[in-house]
Structure 1
Amino acid sequence: MSGELVPASNALTARWVKEVCDGTTTVLSGAGVWPLLAFLAAASREPGRAELQRAIGVDAAGADRHARVALGMLDSSTAATGAFGVWTHAGLPVEPWWHKIVPARARGELTGDTADDQARLDEWVRQNTGDRLSRLPIGVGPDTALVLATALTVDTRWKEPFEDVPLTPEEGPWAGRAERLAGLTHNTTDTNRLTLAEETPAGPVTLLTVHGEDDVDVILCLGQPDRRPGDVLAAAMAATDGQIRLRRGERLLQRALAEKTPGLRVDKALAFDPRPTLTATTVRFDIAAEHDLLAHAGVFGLETVSTQDRRGHLPGISRTPLAVGQAAQDVNATFSAEGFRAAAVTAIGAVPAGAPMAEAQVLNVTFDRPFGFLTWHRPTGLILLAGWVAEPENWTEPDPEPELTR
């Protein structure tokens, strides 16, 4: 099953980066969004179901199983972790099927006390991101009927650490600055970590793989200066997924290929070891971003399910008509000499569709004066016992727990 969901999740990420990466600093996590969309797809009705199915790239009928597998893959990683949470309003009737597909440990309740609910969900974010993020990316209001959220973290140290160095670019948009940049560099004989995706829709793209000590690597990618960043990232993802042929390592020493490889310069130096070496230089970064998923609803299949319709769009969750009211992601990432750390929290909130939640009357009944009772045989309707309680028992303190003796 993971063989189908991995390319599907990656394809969603590729479409997202092409949509939003315009040259400004940003970071996003399609892997954090995909399981939430998969759960929604499994619970939705047409025509929203078809839109969500196209967005996630797998059959909506089994999408909830794929979502659980995706979350399980993160749980099995040594450098990445994933958490999933679902909170439903105390007054929302929830379908048995929804209870069945959502793990019990992931379920919580919204009380309707906005401040308390928001505080509890923000605390969930802090606990599941190691305090890298401190709040849920959506607000919880009195009409919030449902919240789905994922928290994804990555924490790995480099197998071969970088060295901090000052960097002064000689050309390009970073050249000519008054202050030098916080650079990172290291040398290795593993030249196959450098590859060229020569024939991509975005032109040639250079890929540098930085290995983590655990099971997570970071791949740096560089395209030609005139190419759109989103196209370069999408091409790099296609190359990483094996869709585009890569030229590796020492082959890039050939002049014809070296000249095509963005960012590469081939030099000669005296050395005791005649083997080619790779010197990799980049910059530190510590970036954060906030994303409103509904601003790009078409990418995520949320166009229909976020519209107000008195029938609602998520009958698999509740017979109460529901529509997606908010969808957002907060994410940060740090690349340093020692390693890479990142956290992403994605949340989708649903509200009643067609009309706001209304105050509901609650029947509170208390038998605090004499009352009667009947004992009824349900199959036959036979009254087995009838009685009246005129004098209740008095309250007595329960016996204390016996002390344990050794």
Structure 2
Amino acid sequence: MARRSIGIIMNGVTGRMGYRQHLVRSILAIREQGGLTLADGTVVWPEPILVGRDEEKLKTLAERHGLDRWTTDLDAALADPGAEIYFDAQLTQVREESLKAAMNAGKHIYTEKPTAESLEGALDLVRLARAAGVKNGVVQDKLFLPGLLKLKRLVDGGFFGRILSVRGEFGYWVFEGDWQQAQRPSWNYRAQDGGGIVLDMFPHWQYVLEQTFAPIRSVYAHTATHIPERRDERGTAYPATADDAAYGIFELDCGIVAQVNSSWTVRVDRDELVEFQVDGTEGSAVAGLRNCRFQHRAATPKPVWNPDLAATEPFREQWQQVPDNTEFDNGFKAQWELFLAHVVADEPFRHDLAEGAKGVQLAELALESARLGRRVEVPPLGI
């Protein structure tokens, strides 16, 4: 059995997402399972090279996981001929230039989103990747969540009939940092540092809506900074200049209307931190991170509005669960495996920089809609 080692420069692994999901639960998990076995029997063995700005943090992470390759010198890592892939989980502000440097060095790239702070920057990356002839991918992890995979199964099976609407609720309460420490980094709440829930979450909603249902034709968004002052990691007060909540309405092809609320200032009264309800002529479903429940037309109850009487129907008990029918792996790991197969064996991979640019476009148009106070059409990218 042939074994193919592949060096992966991992920039930004000292951050929460880069460390937990990409290093530990993806790359190290692939190593723990003995590598990734391709269709021809070749075993791909990822060799991570940790890159970041904090030498002490990198050294600690490397020692914790028995890794011996780490550096604070990105240029030196990019000069390594054994490093074939560059991965970026840095702050959005510095991502674009690092991706360009990696592609100019001939590396295939895989990156978190948003790929850039502006649509023009995202399109520049697409053009450079094509000119450099490098393979490229963007993390679109929510497509690989068990709940959304089950929902896609219903869509592909024609369960809904004609889909009418999608309603999404995402968010939770992020503490302000005064009497309890915040669960998210302070830069998320500073526009000047690339923060804001629109730039963070609307790229997700773009690929979820388009790849699960239909392309987005227009967006209307209202944004808010509900909490104007927060405290940073050192306990110092700072003005929150970025949006911490966004309320969006999207028109999709086929007349589907989607509404998605995104908020870091909402207390959770849902089964999961994100849920999507889909209603169609033949049935409805509610999908979260892991579960998906459905109700067919024939099993739909007939409630009657009467505010003078207490509701007695057990509405939530009137739904059925979509069965697992398979084992679901970590979504980040599943996409990493697809990308590694794409690089090594030229297996198909649709989640490229052009797809990532669509997410940046939607975020940019949503912010424009919020400024103008009106609906904005989503034009084709033309790339």
Category of TM-score, reference length = shorter chain: under 0.3
User: Bigger radius of gyration, 1 or 2?
Assistant: 1
Which of the pair is proportionally richer in helix? 2
Give the structure-1-normalised TM-score: 0.21
